[in-house]
Amino acid sequence: MSELQDLTALIRANTPLIVIETPDEARVVDLFRHLLIDVWRALYRWSITEGLRRVDLDREDPPETAPDLSATLQAIREHDQRGIYLLLDAVPYLGYASTRRSLREILERRSTAIEHTVVLVGNKVELPEELEPLAVRFSLQLPDEPTLLKMVKDEAALYMRENGGRRVEIDPQVLPAIVRNLRGLALTEARKIARNLIYRDGALGPPDLPELTRQKFELLNKSGLLHFEYDTAHFTDVVGLARLKQWIGQRHDAFDGSVLPAGLDPPKGVLLLGVQGCGKSLAAKAVAGGFGLPLVRLDFGALYNKFQGETEKNLREALASAEQVAPCVLWIDELEKGLASSGSSEDGGVSRRVLGYFLTWMSERSSRVFLVATANAVAELPPELLRKGRFDEIFFVDLPGTAARAEIFRLHLEKRQVAWGDFSLNTLADASAGFSGAEIEQAIVSALYSAHAEKRPLDEALLLRELAGTRPLSVLMAEQVAALREWARTRTVPAD
């Protein structure tokens, strides 16, 4: 059934209280006006600034009552014709027991035999406990792509009228992507972003796509638990990882919305295990770059809250925000920090409930959110998470080999404007056996500081000295690193 049909059914059933959470009040009023074509009722709108007005006629009558909600409820009781009463942002005024009681008697039809329907409309509607059993919550459908396309064209026409007939320069290749990325927003929110993009430069083109994503993210990230990664790495910035790159390349078109062959589902996510400092986080950013999608990061550790039920609520809100930003890549770094204690009962079962909801979301989500999780300590991850099918694939990011280390030296020397042609990259690679990419980078940084202190340019001898004085993690924690590599050898796919 359509949105209008569902709402009509509620009115025909004489539902006493309907709750609609939305910022788009005008759309609610318009929806109820259309509903009256099939179901005759008197339609009223109330706000604290205007009082109670009848709005189903060709004109808007003057207020029938003072803005006070108590006076409005008294007027509703006295009406002898069935009506629909849209009360805008009325919940704060239900603080008085007498007001709540008056509304309850109307809903239970004690003070009047007329079957009125009261509709509470607001951004967030938290009902008093005694009213919740009487309410039916109704969610407005988000606008589809044809509606959003019409809205963008309307805003372009408005810009032209306001700017002396100057047309908006619209790239026909980019317009579908803009409309697609506006999905997940209420019409008023989508209109606000479209207007900002148009009025910035009088054009809609490729530069507007990242700006649209940023504005959409800031609008939807109400929980504050997601972080937008503005600079996603390209695969060319990641040394090695040949198998991971090939895997992403094979699935790019499928995730991009292209028609899939029969029997195939869109890819859902990967788990990146590996030694610390070997580029798992950079690889996660590169996945977003490979898909050409925005990257949002969820700090799992920040979800936990000491108050009952707040942790689970935080997770639900964070994942819901990610789904609204879709299509996107959701990056959860160091997953074990948020789920490591899931087998313990010391936290009152919070970790188990968090894990349960997260696993359900992973299995049942239909939105285009590609999950990339990274972890260092695989032994601390719950076994339920590693079961085949939770992730499309589990990749192991190992310490870089000799050729990869040479390339890492070249990249970081070039990044710091050092003439790497004067260095023997093979010699440096041999001297850094067992080093991670992060450790190689820090060795270069330390060598540059030494060169600056000694007032000399950085040379190969100085860099080799720094490498000789560094004990990499593979030496400091040799047993743990060896155990992790052995575990991954038969259980994961090498990323390189």
Q: What is the mean pLDDT of residues 73-87?
A: 90
Summarised one tens digit per residue, pLDDT across range 43-60 is: 999 999 989 988 887 666
pLDDT band of residue 230 (cuts 50, 70, 90) is: low
Q: How far is CA 398 from the centre of its chain?
A: 30
Residues 346 and 387 in one domain: yes
Question: Which amino acid type is present at position 187?
Answer: L
Find, among 119, 144, 126, 109, the residue nearest to 3 by Cα: 144
Q: Say whether the peptide bond before residue 261 is cis (omega within 30 degrees of 0).
A: no
- Global pTM value: 0.69
**Residue 66: is its pLDDT beyond 60?**
yes
CA separation (Å) from 165 to 81, 159, 202? 50, 8, 12
Q: The dihedral of CA 354, 386, 274, 484: what is its sign? A: positive
Instruction: Flag whether 100 is in a domain.
Output: yes
Residues 130 and 175 in one domain: no
| Domain end residue (candidates: 340, 374, 396) | 396
Residues 59 and 20 in one domain: yes
Question: How high is the pLDDT of residue 261?
Answer: 66
Question: How high is the pLDDT of residue 257?
Answer: 61
| Dihedral, CA of residue 98, residue 103, residue 108 and residue 112, to nearest 10 | 90
Residues 153 and 28 in one domain: no
Most confident of 212-226, 369-383, 462-476: 462-476
Question: Which amino acid type is present at position 205?
Answer: G
331 DSSP β-pair partners: 297, 372
| Domain end residue (candidates: 175, 200, 220) | 220
Residues 367 and 465 in one domain: no
Q: What is the mean pLDDT of residues 308-318?
A: 79
Residues 346 and 460 in one domain: no
Q: What is the rounded end-to-end Cα distance, in angstroms, of the chain?
A: 50
Q: How many distinct structural domains can be found in the chain?
A: 4
Summarised one tens digit per residue, pLDDT across range 165-180 is: 899 999 988 898 888 8
Residues 406 and 318 in one domain: no
Question: Which amino acid type is present at position 204?
Answer: L
At 32, list the tokens.
């109820």
The C-alpha atoms of residue 373 and residue 364 are separated, in whole angstroms, by 17
Q: What is the mean pLDDT of residues 278-306?
A: 81
At 473, list the tokens.
């993690």
Summarised one tens digit per residue, pLDDT across range 315-356 is: 888 888 788 777 788 998 888 877 755 445 555 577 788 888
Question: How high is the pLDDT of residue 295?
Answer: 85
* Residue range of the domain that includes 300: 251-396
